[in-house]
Structure 1
Amino acid sequence: MVNMDSKLVNKLKPYIGVIFLQFGSAGFGIVAKAALNQGSSHYTFSVYRNAVAAALFIPFAFFLERKTRPIMTFGVFFKILLLSLFDPVIGQNMFYAGMKYSSATFSAALIEKVNLKSIRSHAKITGTLVTVGGAMIMTLISGPIIGLPWTHKSHESHASTNPNDKEDPVKGAIMISVGCVGYAAFYTLQAITLKSYPAGLSLTAMVCTLGALLGTVLTFLVERGNTSVWALGFDAKLLAYVYGGVISSGITYYLSGVIMKEKGPVFVTAFNPLSMVIVAILIGAGEAPPGFAPE
């Protein structure tokens, strides 16, 4: 009986893990939108998020993997450099830029390698198309507000604090889609890298560190002379930086790597639509946090 219970728990662990990741992603979507509405630069957003994650994971990686960490080779370093570009720089910046023009409910599903002669593959393609179609509808069409038990304020009372941001759902969807391509490349390469460098904590720490450094260079190139984008305060922006660093970069990178070793990258990304549903429930019909302006 004990063995059966332990086997069941082991089988459920990956599912519990990806569901946890989706709840974390949903929460980040809310606080990120709030920060962007308060005028946060998506360039510094990415830098601070990855800097927080690096500061958190470097000590753990140094002490916990000091005896098991593989030798660094040029090939592994090059993969880590690409990982730092795919998500921390390209993926995150395009995603944040897109969020300024749309809502927090946009998400995407990624397709696994398919065999067009297989019924199973037909189901995967159909499911993906339905998911993406639903995400686009939620992004482009504003419907009536659904009254839920926790709804007690009108959405009209939550206007964006940044008047320069005008919603353009199509532009936002395109940017977020490009960001999703970066995420897809990241997860695929992460699974490959972990095979030759199976030190998850160290890999996470290095990706976040390089991502923060590359993002800093990009920010200085784009935001020339505009030092105000680096300003910090006790507001929604700081909350988003810390939350994004701890949950969406650090823990997500590491935990997704652990799950991918057993289930592969498609399993991790297949649950992405869940975060869209969670966000829609939390803010689509409820009270938005300060600085957040839902559709």
Structure 2
Amino acid sequence: MGGRSPFAALFNGLNTMKPYLAMVSLQFGYAGMYIVSMVCLKHGMSNFILATYRHVVATIVIAPFAIVLERKIRPKMTLPVFLRIVALGFLEPVLDQNFYYLGMKLTTATYSSAFVNMLPAVTFILAMIFRLEKVNVKKIRSFAKIIGTAITVIGAMVMTLYKGPIIDFIKSGGAVHQGTATESADKHWVTGTILLLGSICSWAGFFILQSFTLKKYPAELSLTAWICFMGMIEDAIVSLIMVRDLSAWKIGWDSRLLAASYSGIVNSGIAYYVQGVVIRQRGPVFVTSFSPLCMIITAILGAIILAEKIHLGSILGAIIIVTGLYTVVWGKSKDGENSETDVKCNGLQELPITGNAKSITDDDDDINGPTKTSSLKEHKKYSLPGV
């Protein structure tokens, strides 16, 4: 170890940073999606049709990469795995995105992105229900996760029940300010908040089910392509039921095409794949812990591009939510220091957060034989190295 060169140490440090850089980059992608989608929805495009086109684009972009890069390592499709993919396509492409678009139309892009900060807390609750998280109130790390979840819910209630005065960070003309204030007063904030909460619950369920599915079908690109394809079909069925006017499907060289292309490539195709890779190594709580960065980026872009005004209640609620969020993350990080010991002592299944992929692979080899182990090791060639 004393002979390791500084270059090797730097390389290892960059590998360690890759999951962080990947998740930070995704937050910029999500912030752009919120703004572009809001512009598109304001121009009259149906949220159902937008979600459908989004996954048409995602399927076209991702499927060729999945077919070529994973042709030798793709597991055989089974009925249980296919049913999980159908459920994944319904949870995220259908429920989450349509609930989110509807909620964003009734509130603002900034408010919606701030409310998404509840996602880690909801994911933690579902992980507890499905026995993917251990809770022992006698230990400080478990107590921190419980308290952090409660604080996050309180912050969401503050955002919902208290609007307060408008905080104008970027000064604009009086006419725009007055029009926006009047428009905001007419928004159905409670209904929009309920829809956003439904979106978050669906999204959290997607992460949990994706974590289970990757254990049976460890091919991130292929799974991403299947999710986008099933989401496209299910969204199309819902759209045909909800939108009877066929002219609403027309799309040209405008904000509709931009929103569908951008969200399909960045937020469905790339995001599903990157999240799948990171989830296998760090767990869903790690993936969702970067959402506050998206809120900050969206607030800045929303104020500049959409002339959105931020209410004091949204700021206070967001601060409370972020406080609770990082309390949960702190407790989760303490889990990482004791995860191997706890698993050996208690025999409990826990989502990996330390990135120790080798130990997980070796355990699988003992249980399931060498075939699964070699498949996983071969598959790592197409994963993000060091994640």
Structure 1 stretch 68-77 or stretch 4-13: which is displaced more? 4-13
What SS is found at the alignment partner of 2:304? coil
Matched to 1:109, the amino acid is: L
* Deviation at residue 261 of structure 1 after TM alignment: 1.1
Cα gap change, 1:32 to 1:257, in 2 (>3 Å):
same
5+ long unaligned stretches in structure 1? none
Q: How much does 1:57 deviate? A: 0.5
On the 8 A contact 2:73/2:219 being kept in 1, the answer is yes
CA drift at 1:159: 6.1
Match of 1:287 in 2: 304
Amino acid in the other structure paired with 1:124: K
Pick the aligned partner of 2:139 from 109, 115, 118.
118
CA distance in 1, matches of 2:208, 2:201: 11
User: Are 2:42 and 1:37 equivalent residues in the alignment?
Assistant: yes
User: How far did 1:274 drift?
Assistant: 2.3
How big is each residue's C-alpha offset from its partner over 1:107-163, in whole Å with a ceiling of 9 and x where there is no partner? Answer: 223232343333223323333444454455456625433435xx6556438869xx9
| Partner deviation per Cα, 1:72-97 (whole Å, 9 max, x = no partner) | 11111111111001101111111111
Partner of residue 71, structure 2: 66
Which residue in 1 is equivalent to 2:349? none
Q: Which residue of 2 aligns with 1:278?
A: 297
In structure 1, how many angstroms separate the alpha carbons of the residues matched to 2:8 and 2:97?
43
Equivalent position SS for 2:166? coil
- Tell me which of the two structures has the higher relative contact order, counting C-alpha pairs closer than 8 angstroms and 6 or more residues apart: 1
1:270: Cα distance to partner? Answer: 1.9
CA–CA separation in structure 1 for the residues paired with 2:65 and 2:226: 12
Counterpart of 2:327 in structure 1 is none
Change (3 A) 1:63 1:174: same
- Residue 167 of structure 2: SS of its match in structure 1? coil
TM-score, normalised to structure 1's length?
A: 0.88
Match of 1:206 among 181, 201, 226: 226
1:236 aligned partner = 255
Query: 1:231, 1:159 → 2: CA distance?
Result: 29
Report the residue type matching 1:144 in the other structure: I
Q: How does 1:6-85 map to 2 (within 5 A)?
A: 6-85=11-90
Aligned to 2:177: 156
Q: 1:147 aligns with which of 141, 151, 169?
A: 169
Q: Distance in 1 between matches of 2:179 and 2:68?
A: 46
Q: Cα–Cα, structure 1 residues 122 and 229, in superposed 2: closer, same or farther, change >3 Å?
A: farther
Structure with a larger share of its residues in helix:
2
Between 231-240 and 256-265, the greater mean CA deviation after superposition: 231-240
Residue type matched to 2:54 in 1? R
Q: 1:75 to 1:143 in 2, by over 3 A?
A: same
Cα deviation, residue 43, structure 1: 0.7
- Return the alpha-carbon distance in structure 2 between the equivalents of residues 281 and 87 of structure 1: 26
Partner of 1:215: 235
Partner Cα separation in structure 2 for residue 158 and residue 202 of structure 1:
47
Percent identity between the aligned chains? 40
Shift of residue 252, structure 1, vs aligned partner? 0.5
CA–CA separation in structure 1 for the residues paired with 2:179 and 2:250: 24
